[in-house]
Structure formats: C-alpha cells, structure tokens
Amino acid sequence: MAPEVLADLIRTLEQKFKVATEMGLVLKPRARLKAILSTRQDVFRLQFDDDPPVRVAPLQVRLKQGVTPTKSLPRRYSPDDRDFPKRHVDALVFRNPCSRWASARRIVRKKTQDHDPLAEAGVTVDTRAVNERTVVMPWPLPVLEAVIGELEGAHVFFLLDWFGGYWQLPLHPDSQAYFAVCSRRQESPWEPLTQPPTVKVW
C-alpha cells in the first residue's frame, strides 16, 4: 500500500473511531477497537481495488436451454449518483460495446449516511433477468430452527455493518459476459475487469 494511501486510510479510520465514540462507545471496548484498527490497517480499503479473489474454483453459471440474452437499459440517476461510479467502479471495468448481456446498476442509500459525513451509498446490480435464465445452483442456507438452537444461553447481540465487506469470487471465462453492467451512457455496457475476472458477493 502506497504511503499516501495508507495516510488517507489512517485518517479515515480515526474519523470512524471518533464517530463510534460520539455514538456512545464506552471506554473498554473503545480501547480494544482502537487496537484492532491499528494492527489490522492492511485489511481496510477506501476504494475498490484489484485485490485477488478467494482461492476457490471459478464460479461457472449454466444457462437454461433455449434462453436468449437480456440487455437492460441504463437508469436515470441524480448527479451525485452519477459521480459514484467514477470514484469506485470505473477503474475496475472495461468497455465492451458488443456485449449481448447487460444488467442495470442501482445506487442504494445507507442509513449511516444520516450521521456519518464520510459514509457513501452502496452499489448493487439488478441481475434478476440473468437469474431467470440460469440453472439454479445449490447453496447452503441456514435453517432458522437450527440457528436459534445455537443461540441458547446467549445474552448479548449486536449488529455489524461493513463499509464494504465482500467475497471476491473468481469468475469462469464462460460466465463473464452474463455479468456485464449498463454504463451511464447508453452506447456501451460494462464488464468486470480484474485478473482473474471476478464477481463480488456482498
């Protein structure tokens, strides 16, 4: 991590720590949080980067028989929302005007923006049309009854909100085209660009 990037990161972590203190974080947990933020600086990011994906087999999506590609139109965005991809997404994509697939993105406001001046919105991609055309993959989901049983005897619960926590899965070359994203301008959709190409799961 470059020194100037690290300096910005440290300043941001200190400001986040100040927000937590102002919201009522008490002394003992405050010291522990400060220690964690100081020793784990290398795991935080202020913007998306080309970090390597997790070491698993590339995700390969299989289409249902007889389906045709889907291509969404770009949506209208406010000026602030139009600037969001410039700050976080443009560096990770390449333009592919010949793509037969494209899904629309959505900028989603977060509650933390109400009290944290540094907080930013989130970005999601509406892949419902793609999902309708793909074969369902088995995926482990928690069973509520089993989870409740594991909580027996617990007394303290909390909610943890990530600034940008995600798994970055390697994406199989055969599946990369399905995850193209509409650009701000109608003439060209986006596709993800990392080495190897990946899909982020938030």
What's the confidence (pLDDT) of residue 89? 62
Answer yes or no: is 157 within a domain: no
Residues of the chain short of pLDDT 50, as ranges, are 163, 186-187, 192-202
Clarify whether residues 95 and 32 are in a common domain. no
Taking only the tens place, the pLDDT of each residue in 95-131 is: 777 788 988 888 888 888 888 877 777 778 889 999 9
Q: Can you spell out the DSSP letters for 78-95?
A: -HHHHHHHHHHTGGGEEE
CA distance 135 to 200: 19
Which pLDDT score, from 0 to 100, does residue 198 have? 47
Amino acid at 185: R
Look at residues 54, 72, 55 and name the one whose alpha carbon lies nearest to residue 131.
72
Residue 10 sits at φ, ψ, to 5 deg, of -60, -45
Residues 67 and 35 grouped into a single domain: no
Are 95 and 24 contained in the same domain?
Answer: no
Other CB atoms within a 10 A radius of the CB of residue 127 amount to 19
Q: Are residues 61 and 25 in the same domain?
A: no
Give the domain extent around 82.
Answer: 48-135+165-202
For residue 152, being part of any structural domain is answered with: no
pLDDT for the residue 67: 95
Judge whether 144 lies within some domain. no
CB 164 within 8 A of CB 76: no
Name the domain count of the chain.
Answer: 2
The whole-angstrom separation of Cα 186 and Cα 76 is 11
